[in-house]
Amino acid sequence: MIDARQITSEFINEPVKKRSTIWKRVRQHRALYLMMLPAILYLLINNYLPMFGVIIAFKDINFTKGILHSEWVGFANFKYLFATTDAYVITRNTILYNLAFIIIGLITSVGIAILLNEIRSKISRFYQSALLLPYFISMVIVAYLLYGMLNPEYGFMNKTILPLLHIDPVYWYMEPKYWPLILILVNVWKGVGYSAIVYIASIVGIDQEYYEAAKIDGATKWQQIKHITIPLLVPIMTIMTLLAVGRIFYSDFGLFYQVPMNSGPLLPVTNTIDTYVYRGLMQLGDISMASAAGLYQSLVGFLLVLLSNYVVRKINRDNALF
């Protein structure tokens, strides 16, 4: 990260000489700067320009007046947002789902990584391929796959599974109570292969001598896993978890919007900050409110990233992001 003080002090202390050498060095590298230019411009437009747009959250937007000339309303949009039950519901959903994803995802993917590492045969390549496959499927297709299972009239659940158990058909897309479980299952199904591979990569990197020494001491497989593999995975587990914690205010828009097929009755359990902002912007046209929710998300998200990075730094400096 740049140290601004250092650069400014360089300018102040030895203005003429330093500046000319820096200028010379910059000129020397102008081809490299030119190379970066298109990408820098893109980031300016795509990422930095919208950051100034956060002022919308403090305005009562009127498009005939334009964004800059619309009236300032201070924190009115936020007051209005937090006075609704929506603010509570979307915050609760976003955080609780993410917590479930983090905990269940960690357990399943570490478990799968350890087990997969135990089989040394050709077929483990097939298992790996099968596990990773859902990762490449778009959320739209996932919505189709789930529809094949849950369609009330023709779906596999209502037509084959439930009759076998003598249970009456369920109108899945109308019944909120099943969806927390469904969404968690879909999330694990789609993502477990990806994170398992990250863990497999670090298991492969563990020095074999540890295991050989343990075997000589008569350690069982289970003892080896408990006393060698898991402790050595803890650093990467910590990093992956803290990164996820930093993103706990964000949700996969596709998972919460496409997969439940934007079904109204399910909103109490499927609405998250991301889907709320989208609906506010595109469907309800409530730009100021959507923007207030978006800024709330970005700010808290930013603070959480800083916080989790701080914690990573405390644990192991090398693993910190910055």
Partner 1 sequence: MNKKEKESWVIHLFFGITSLLMILPLLLVLIASLTDEQSILANGYSFFPEKFSLDAYHYLFILDPGVIFRSYGVTIIVTVVGTIVSLLLTAMLAYPLSRTTLPFRNAFAFFVFFTLLFNGGLVSWYLVYARFIDLRDTVWALIIPGLLLNGFNVLIMRTFFTTTIPPTMIEAAHIDGAGEARIFAQFVVPLSKPVFATIGLFNTIAYWNDWYNSLVFLSRAKFFSLQYMLNMSLLNIQFLSQNSQNTNAASLMQSTPQETMRMAMAIIGIGPILLAYPFFQKYFVKGLTIGAIKG
Give the Cβ contact number of residue 253 at 10 Å.
14
CA distance 181 to 168: 19
Site size toward partner 1 (CB under 8 A) is 99
Q: Closest separation between CB of residue 5 and partner 1, Å?
A: 13
Of 94, 158, 271, 308, the residue at the interface with partner 1 (CB under 8 A) is 158
The verdict on 134 binding partner 1 (CB under 8 A) reads: yes
Shortest Cβ 73–partner 1 spacing (Å): 15
Phi/psi for 292 (5° steps) reads -65, -45
The residue range among 70-78, 80-88, 172-180, 250-258 that interacts with partner 1, by the rule CB under 8 A, is 250-258
Q: How far is the CB of 96 from partner 1 (least distance, A)?
A: 22
Q: Which of 141, 234, 284, 307 binds partner 1 (CB under 8 A)?
A: 141
Q: Which residue of 221, 230, 268, 310 would you call a contact of partner 1, by CB under 8 A?
A: 221
Q: Which is nearer to partner 1, 153 or 217 (CB)?
A: 153
Binder among 81, 90, 143, 267 for partner 1 (CB under 8 A): 143
Check residue 119 and give left, alpha or beta (phi > 0: left; psi -120 to 50: alpha): beta
- Distance in Å, CB of 262 to partner 1, minimum: 7
Classify each residue of 213-252 as buried b or exposed e, where b means 16 or more C-beta atoms within 10 Å of its C-beta: ebeeeebeeeeebeebbeeebeebbbbbbbebbbebbbbb
Given CA atoms 230, 233, 238, 244 in this order, what sign does their dihedral have? negative
Segment 160-219, which members bind partner 1 (CB under 8 A)?
Answer: 160, 189, 193-194, 197-198, 201-202
**Contact set for partner 1, span 90-119 (CB under 8 A):** 112, 115-116, 118-119
| Single residue of 12, 153, 217, 314 touching partner 1 by CB under 8 A | 153
Produce one character per residue of 172-201: b if its CB has 16 or more CB atoms within 10 Å, e if not. Answer: bbeeeeebeebbeebbbbbbbbebbbebbe
Question: Which residue among 71, 75, 148, 310 contacts partner 1 (CB under 8 A)?
Answer: 148
**Piece of the chain touching partner 1 by CB under 8 A; list 87-95, 171-179, 223-231, 273-281:** 273-281
Q: Which of 103, 107, 137, 307 binds partner 1 (CB under 8 A)?
A: 137
According to the binding rule CB under 8 A, does residue 84 interact with partner 1? no
Smallest distance from partner 1 to CB 181, Å: 15
Give 71's strand partners: 60
CA dihedral over 136, 138, 144, 146, signed as positive or negative? positive
Cα distance between the two ends of the chain: 7
Distance of alpha carbon 28 from the chain centroid = 40
In the region spanning residues 5 to 64, those forming contacts with partner 1, defined by CB under 8 A, are 22, 25-26, 29, 31-33, 35-36, 38-40, 42-43, 45-54, 56
Residue 105 Cβ vs partner 1, minimum distance, rounded to whole Å: 15
Q: How far is the CB of 156 from partner 1 (least distance, A)?
A: 5
Tracing tokens 């930095």 back to the chain, one arrives at 48
Dihedral sign from CA coordinates of 57, 62, 63, 68: negative
Residue 195 tokens, joined: 């994170």
Q: Which span sits near partner 1 by CB under 8 A: 75-83, 96-104, 120-128, 264-272?
A: 120-128
| Measured distance CA(227)–CA(310) in Å, rounded | 28
8 Å CB contact between 114 and 226: no
The answer to whether 253 contacts partner 1 (rule: CB under 8 A) is: yes
